[in-house]
Amino acid sequence: MSKYLSAGALIDDNWVITAADSLFLIRESSRTLRVRLGSINYRKGGVLLPVKYFEIHPNFDDSKPVFDLAMLRLAQSVRFTPSLKPIRLLRSMTEADATHFIVTSWPFPIMNSDESEHLQSMEVIKRRRILSVTHLHPSDVEDCAEELSSIGITDIESMMCLDTGVMMDPCMRDIGAPVVLNDVLWGIVSSWRPPNCENDLAGPSFVTLVSSPNISAWIHATIQGRKW
């Protein structure tokens, strides 16, 4: 039975970008992965393509939200259509002064070891199979820096914070979700969650910015097949 891992974004005819954490422990079985494109339901519709291999950012540490990025190389090129096309990447660092960003994903909760999808109601399961579109506000820069500092991160150049939505469960994160403004990809939502995610004050979602020099250079080197 297929299992959903994370959301992602198609950035050209061969590459999808997503969060690294969902792929961190399955490198040896990458050829069993499939990417569904052009559908709002992660279980059906659109185009289902195999993954040839994937690359994880070399600075990624699964205990932290920074550099939480992976690139998936598709086994065959995507044929673009009016409803299936790549998104442009933000090219240069820009201050996040927008009122809100669009985040699209299939958010899943963190489950305890004795829980599984089978314990959830079928209504909830079916609802989570449909693409969720959320409008999230960027956190204040100083507040974001303070949140990152609280978990030992001082280099915040590659990160942005998004305030958790009012109706969102703090234990649910849009893993690998594209963060978009004006049809341009700003970043990817990290899968990292605080250990006290059941607390309503669990904090913002962390976003890895694709325009950060250490991120942008790696993305382009990976696409071109160069070591970074």
Span 202-225, pLDDT tens digits:
578 899 999 999 999 999 999 999
Q: 23 pLDDT band (50/70/90 cuts)? A: confident
Q: What is the mean pLDDT of residues 66-85?
A: 94
Domains 9-86+214-223 and 88-211 share a fold: yes
pLDDT higher than threshold 50 for residue 115: no
C-alpha triplet 108, 30, 188: angle, nearest 5°: 45
Q: What pLDDT, on the 0 to 100 scale, is given for residue 114?
A: 44
Please name which of 130, 135, 131 lies closest in space to residue 179, comparing C-alpha atoms.
Answer: 135
SS percent in the chain: helix, strand, coil, step 5: 15, 30, 55
Q: 48 pLDDT band (50/70/90 cuts)? A: very high
* Contact in structure between 205 and 164 (CB atoms under 8 Å): yes
- Give the residue extent of every domain in the chain: 9-86+214-223, 88-211
Q: Which residue has the tokens 């958010």?
A: 107
- Count other C-beta atoms under 10 Å from residue 72's C-beta: 22
Architecture of domain 88-211: Beta Barrel (2.40)
Assigned fold of 9-86+214-223: Thrombin, subunit H (2.40.10)
Instruction: Tell me which of 95 and 145 has the higher pLDDT.
Output: 145
Q: 110 pLDDT band (50/70/90 cuts)? A: very low
pLDDT higher than threshold 80 for residue 112: no
Which of the 8 DSSP states describes residue 144?
H
